[in-house]
């Protein structure tokens, strides 16, 4: 095996190992960053909904309470306000969703579906849990969701959701006396669920990964080409020249005074100068032997 072949084999092995390591590390980091970005979007949407809830409780509900109206005003309900705000947001971002899912909701639109029921039961089985993060398949692709439990901590909530006989008549007239009642203090009655799409960020991460790996492969190929050219120019070609000259010297075909070019201060030039000195010494020795062997000496 030639020196060039050994060098290229070593380069191939190093390149393959480098690509595997770099690919694994970069893919892991990019996917983690993409997932983190999706979670940040979900948390921002969830915190926005919670901010609307607080605003409704602190400012909107007191103002609506001053109105002399016998009608039930859903705008005074924090869950309704938060859902409406996110509903307006979905006009531009239809894959984003927010829902306050409950097993026994006042508004049928908030009734939990199968996977949401599992979430609520999970929170009931793990009352210490503050949040649950998961993924699920949707018609538009894979989505990430963040869920937090809805726990009845304010006794004032039971005025509308405790005994239906004591609930506001306007509320009963609008939603009936069957759903949304019988809640208990400190009970987990539902879950706030925010879902955001993750296909686009993940596809972007995979695209960046392919671009990075393609660039890395191109750089390594250029590096290998440059190293091969340098190896041939400064190592293989001079060594072949020295080997050819040594072959001529050994067979006696070298002309007197013929020497190898020894330009520069590198190792190959030093080897060429050493070989030239050896050649001169050998020539002098052969000349001395020839003179010694002449008749009459």
- Where is average pLDDT lowest: 42-51, 199-208, 244-253? 244-253
Residue range(s) defining the domain that contains residue 110: 3-206
The 3-state DSSP class for residue 252 equals: coil
The answer to the question of residue 266 being in a domain is no
Give the pairing type, strands 188-197 and 132-138: unpaired
- Where is average pLDDT lowest: 90-99, 187-196, 268-277? 268-277
The answer to the question of residue 171 being in a domain is yes
Task: For residue range 6-21, list pLDDT tens digits in order.
Answer: 888 999 999 999 999 9
Q: What share of the chain is helix, strand, coil (3-state, %, to 5)?
A: 65, 10, 25
Instruction: Walk across the sheet containing 188-197 and list its strands.
Output: 97-102, 188-197, 141-151, 132-138
The answer to the question of residue 220 being in a domain is no
Residue 255 DSSP code: P
Closest CA to 249 of 289, 281, 296, 224: 281
Number of separate domains in the chain: 1
Render the burial of 87-112: b for 16+ CB within 10 Å, e for the rest: eebeeeeebbbbbbbbebbbbeebbb
User: What average pLDDT does the segment 101-117 reach?
Assistant: 91
The answer to the question of residue 214 being in a domain is no
Q: Are the beta carbons of 144 and 40 closer than 8 angstroms? A: no
Task: For residue range 189-235, list pLDDT tens digits in order.
Answer: 999 999 999 988 999 999 999 999 999 999 999 999 999 998 888 77
The answer to the question of residue 293 being in a domain is no
Q: Which comes out higher in pLDDT, residue 262 or 211?
A: 211
The answer to the question of residue 291 being in a domain is no
The answer to the question of residue 21 being in a domain is yes
The answer to the question of residue 263 being in a domain is no
Separation of alpha carbons 86 and 221, rounded Å? 51
Looking at residue 167, its pLDDT comes to: 84
């Amino acid at each position: 095996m030639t020196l060039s072949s050994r060098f290229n084999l070593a380069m191939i092995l190093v390149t393959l190992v480098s690509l595997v390591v770099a690919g694994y590390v970069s893919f892991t980091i990019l996917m983690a960053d993409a997932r983190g970005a999706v979670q940040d979007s979900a948390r921002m949407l969830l915190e926005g909904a919670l901010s609307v809830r607080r605003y409704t409780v602190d400012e909107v509900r007191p103002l609506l309470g001053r109105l002399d109206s016998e009608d039930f005003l859903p705008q005074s309900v924090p869950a309704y306000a938060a859902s409406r705000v996110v509903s307006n947001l979905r006009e531009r971002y239809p894959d984003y969703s927010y829902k306050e899912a409950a097993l026994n909701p006042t508004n049928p639109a908030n009734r939990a579906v199968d996977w949401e029921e599992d979430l609520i039961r999970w929170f009931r089985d793990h009352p210490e849990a503050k949040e649950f993060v998961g993924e699920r398949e949707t018609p538009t692709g894979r989505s990430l969701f963040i869920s937090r439990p809805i726990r009845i901590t304010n006794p004032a909530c039971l005025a509308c959701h405790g005994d239906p006989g004591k609930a506001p008549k306007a509320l009963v007239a609008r939603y009936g006396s069957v759903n949304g009642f019988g809640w208990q203090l400190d009970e987990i009655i539902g879950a706030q669920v925010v879902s955001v799409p993750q296909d686009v960020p993940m596809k972007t991460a995979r695209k960046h990964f392919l671009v990075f790996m393609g660039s890395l492969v191109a750089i390594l190929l250029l590096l290998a080409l440059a190293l091969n050219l340098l190896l041939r120019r400064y190592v293989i070609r001079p060594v072949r020249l020295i080997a050819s000259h040594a072959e001529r010297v050994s067979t006696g075909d070298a002309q007197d005074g013929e020497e190898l070019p020894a330009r520069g201060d590198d190792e190959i030039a030093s080897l060429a100068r050493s070989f030239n000195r050896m050649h001169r010494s050998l020539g002098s020795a052969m000349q001395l032997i020839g003179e010694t062997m002449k008749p009459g000496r």
